[in-house]
Amino acid sequence: MADPRYQLIEDFKYEWPLERIKNMTLQEYSNRQKNSFCYWLEAKVDKLGSIWGGSSFKFGIYEKDQKHKNYVSDGRRSDAEYAWYAKYGESREEVFDNIRVMLVTIVEAAIAHRFEDIDGIQLSDTLKWKLAFIYSDFKLLNIFKKQKLVDISQQLNLNVDNKDTFYQLQRQILSTKPADQDYFEFGDQFWQALETDEVQIEVSTNNLENQYTDMVDRSLNQILYGPPGTGKTYHTINKAISIANPNFNLKQDRSFVKEEYQQLVEAGQIVFTTFHQSMSYEDFVEGIKPDLQEDSEGNESVVYRLKDGIFKEVVRSARKNVAIVDNQLQAYGFEDAWGDLIQLTQEKLSANSFIELPLLTDSKTIDIVNITSNGNLKLKPKQGREKGYTISYNRLRKLYDAIKDLSTINNIDKEFRAVIGGSNSSAYWSVLNYVSNLVKSKAPISKENKAELLPHVLIIDEINRGNVSAIFGELITLIEDSKRAGMPEQLEVTLPYSKEKFSVPSNLYIIGTMNTADRSVEALDSALRRRFVFEEMMPNYQLSQMQQMVFGYPASSILETINKRIELLIDRDHCIGHAYFLGKDEESVIDSFYKNIIPLLQEYFFGDYGKIGLVLGKGFVEIEESKSNIFADFEYDYKEDFANKPIYRIIDYRNQTNSKIDFGKAIELLMGNA
């Protein structure tokens, strides 16, 4: 009996022939019923290879189930019915037109076997490669994640490179298929291995969440601390997602979780930074920084401007990045006003006319005389300078975000240049004044219309490596829960450079990580300790993946033996984490010993190889025979002591003929059973 999956392919192509895709409507592409293109691809032909899980944003645009929820952010857009990635366009119509063109390109390329053309198409891998597979006439494998293809290639001992494209990996794997083997039979062997991996990942995730029960902990300031390899970064990602998008399901394939994390980063809801010894208040909050300025003749000079730091930028984003909740009304913002201005300019230009804008001095005006090829505006005063001015969308947006009320401007040149640099302040004022007034005039006014500030997360990796008191400065008090904006004990300060009033909103969460093996922990500022909730993360020997047998012993037993010895020689803060054993077979465990575990021990013991020998045993550390006559002929009181000093050497089994056998014997010595 023929495999029913062959018929599924025919059913899909019958329902969605190329001509129908070319003329497909948005409603046909995505709707809440079970007849849309997206539902067919994800659910009806699921047996061809699953793309379940993750966010519906993988389709580029989708019909929402909560029609009352609208939002606007840097990476995503929404109207009353649909949500989409902003990179595809500003309106649902524009977005779907772009996505449909890409879908048609994928199908046409797959039919013609031009698979190299698909790699660069800006749609999610799961979407574009499953669609390509269906129309490929079995020239592709039905696996749609690049990392999975890399794993399969390594299992088959193929020569792969991380730079290989998706199709190059596909082609190499399919070249190993026996000519007489059924196509799906060939692919099923890989799916079975992947499904086993997914079960292990899910069990590991569940166990980790049982150990750290506060995955949805809503403490505004928290620090994850522990030795290397205990999963601090792993859980930082989970915590950040659970805060920024509480409805996201973390118990699914890790690739979907990381995809959601990246989407939230692109949307501006998650910001990542790392503290280091050179980090300063000026980098973190605000400061005077050098900048290049170009005059009208193209000559460059260095000027010093006030620039916002990472923390000030994320605070600004947290204050303005809102979700508009209303059954009828939709927020009208900067992008809408800019789009209307561009449209009106086009209409005027087509009628050989100009938009006339007032300059800061009421008696003077300036005209919008053109739209540049990259979508910026060209302005020219009624009299004077022939060259005119270019108004950049990006720079105008920065001004709009930074200056909420133009009536508060005292020195236009100084205050505008502090935000965007350069010159042309008067021209920028004219356009900003027009856009701001347009937003105010069209902003919905309704008691039912309310703005919900979206939660934002600032991740500070290695928070203990910076001088926290110097980096936070006066803001160290403002991050306390009770001192946040809107709280009964709220505080604000005047920033030293900009002289702005500044407070920290309650929708900004700070998550830090701290490596306890780093000696800088000892100098951790007491002010930081008082204002953060600390969560310890130690090696977890109970994980299911730690129970796998490695050279005759459970991985957990080997790690626990090593850590007990480290605790006696140093302390528990210098233990080695379980991450160095997770998901590894005997070959990769050998690699992990020499690339991770042994280098950590060398760092911990400052080159005292005798202590490393006490941890790993004589199977890993050997003593070379001393040569009493090695020194030059010279009289010295302690010459004999030095001549008899033991010389230690790490034994490297990686390039030996019987590397696995010899390494296994070394593990037996480490465990004390030989």
Residues 429, 560, single domain; the answer is no
114 and 8 housed in the same domain: yes
**Tally of domains within the chain:** 4
Question: What is the structure's pLDDT at 196?
Answer: 40
Same domain, 516 and 616: no
Last residue of a domain, one of 398, 417, 442: 442
Are residues 367 and 473 both part of a single domain? no
Per-residue pLDDT band for 193 (boundaries 50, 70, 90) equals low
Domain stop point among 93, 127, 144: 144
Claim to verify: residue 516 and residue 464 sit in the same structural domain: yes
Predicted confidence at residue 448, as pLDDT, reads 43
Tell me the per-residue pLDDT of 21-48, one tens digit each, with 9 for 90 and over: 999 999 999 987 788 999 899 888 888 8
Per DSSP, the three-state class of 164 is: coil
pLDDT tens-place string over residues 533-555: 888 889 988 888 888 888 989 99
**Is residue 382, in this structure, part of any structural domain at all?**
yes
Q: Which residue has the higher pLDDT, 649 or 518?
A: 649
Of 227-231, 298-302, 308-312, 597-601, the one with minimum mean pLDDT is: 298-302
Tell me if 509 sits within 8 A of 456, measured CB to CB: yes
What digits encode the pLDDT tens for the residues 549-578? 889 899 999 999 999 999 999 988 899 999
pLDDT for the residue 71:
54
- Ramachandran assignment for 60, one of left (phi > 0), alpha (psi -120 to 50 degrees), beta (any other): left
Average pLDDT over residues 606-626: 88
Q: Residue 656 has what pLDDT?
A: 77
- Is residue 186 included in any domain, yes or no? no
> What does the pLDDT read at residue 406?
82
| Mean pLDDT, residues 136-162 | 82
398: containing domain: 332-442
178 in any annotated domain: no
Helices (H) and strands (E) in the chain, counts: 27, 23
pLDDT tops 70 at residue 135: yes
Confidence at residue 469, expressed as pLDDT on a 0 to 100 scale: 84
Residue 151 is assigned to a structural domain of this protein: no
Q: What is the pLDDT of residues 158-176, one digit of tens each?
A: 887 667 888 888 888 888 8
Q: What is the CATH number of the domain that holds 476?
A: 3.40.50
Residue 204 has pLDDT above 50, yes or no: no
Percent of the chain scoring above 90 in pLDDT: 23
* Residue reference for tokens 């790690």: 559
For residues 321 and 458, membership in a common domain is answered with: yes
Q: For 246-275, what is the mean pLDDT?
A: 85
User: Is 343 part of a structural domain of the chain?
Assistant: yes
Q: How many angstroms separate the Cα of 226 from the Cα of each of 221, 559, 592, 604?
A: 17, 16, 20, 15
Instruction: Identify the bridge partners of residue 379 per DSSP, sorted by sequence position.
Output: 368, 389
Q: Averaged over 149-160, what is the pLDDT?
A: 80
64 and 120, same domain (yes or no): yes
Two structure tokens written together for 638: 């302690």
Question: Are residue 533 and residue 564 in the same domain, yes or no?
Answer: no
Query: What pLDDT, on a 0 to 100 scale, did the predictor assign at position 439?
Result: 81
Tell me: do 523 and 566 sit in the same domain. no
Please tell me whether residues 348 and 228 are part of one structural domain. Answer: no
pLDDT higher than threshold 50 for residue 445 = no
Q: Which long-range contacts (CB under 8 A, 24 or more apart) does 34-43 make?
A: 38/62, 40/12, 40/15, 40/16, 41/12, 41/127, 41/130, 41/131
Residue 259 pLDDT exceeds 50: yes
Q: Is residue 554 part of a domain?
A: yes
Q: pLDDT at residue 394 above 70?
A: yes
- Residue 203 domain-assigned (yes or no): no
Claim to verify: residue 140 and residue 13 sit in the same structural domain: yes
Among residues 110, 144, 178, the one where a domain terminates is 144
pLDDT given at position 191: 66
If phi > 0 it is left, if psi is from -120 to 50 it is alpha, else beta; for residue 137 that is left
Confidence of residue 218 (pLDDT cuts 50, 70, 90): low
pLDDT, greater one: 140 or 70? 140
- 202-209 long-range contacts (CB < 8 A, ≥24 apart) are 202/251, 202/252, 203/543, 203/544, 203/545, 204/543, 204/544, 204/545, 204/582, 205/250, 205/251, 205/254, 206/251, 207/540, 207/542, 207/543, 207/544, 208/234, 208/235, 208/540, 208/543, 209/250
Predicted TM-score of the model (pTM): 0.54
Q: Are residues 504 and 648 in the same domain?
A: no
Q: 586 in a domain, yes or no?
A: yes
Place of tokens 């400061």: 287
DSSP-based three-state secondary structure for 140: coil
